[in-house]
Amino acid sequence: MTTNCIKFDAPDIEKAKGSGSISTLTFDIDITVEPVSSDNPLAPTHRVLGRSPRGRLVECGGIWKKQNRETGADYFTLTIRDFGFNANLGKAANQEDDALQAVIPWGPRDAQ
């Protein structure tokens, strides 16, 4: 599989499970994403799970549905907590498959 992509099991990303990988100069992880059911509008749509150094599946981040302030279009963001990694999800280049989403980094989270 290509790195920095998530392949969901359905085009309706908000309700789909998926798997993929994220590779940067500082980390390289395979991930699994599982939908979250919540009535809280601020809750993530998905849990992001990765493998610990001992091979255990652990929650390491989340995916949130957001809305563009100018256009009102929905989009998804992804965070990997341990690495301060943030990204948007978007249609993968040269792909017609809406279930294949590219992980598009937008920079580290500011220290708080």
User: pLDDT tens digits for 44-89?
Assistant: 999 999 999 899 999 999 999 999 999 999 999 999 998 899 999 9
1 — pLDDT class (breaks 50, 70, 90): low
Q: Give the SS3 label for residue 38.
A: coil
Q: Which helix (H) or strand (E) holds 106?
A: none
Tell me the backbone φ, ψ of residue 110, rounded to 5 degrees.
Answer: -65, 140
pLDDT at 11 over 70: yes
pLDDT at 112 over 50: no
Total-model pTM: 0.88
pLDDT at 91 over 90: no
Tell me the pLDDT tens digit for each residue of 15-24: 999 999 999 9
Say if CB 102 and CB 13 are below 8 A apart. no
**Average of per-residue pLDDT across 93-100:** 87
Please give the DSSP secondary-structure letter assigned to residue 111.
P
**Average of per-residue pLDDT across 15-40:** 94
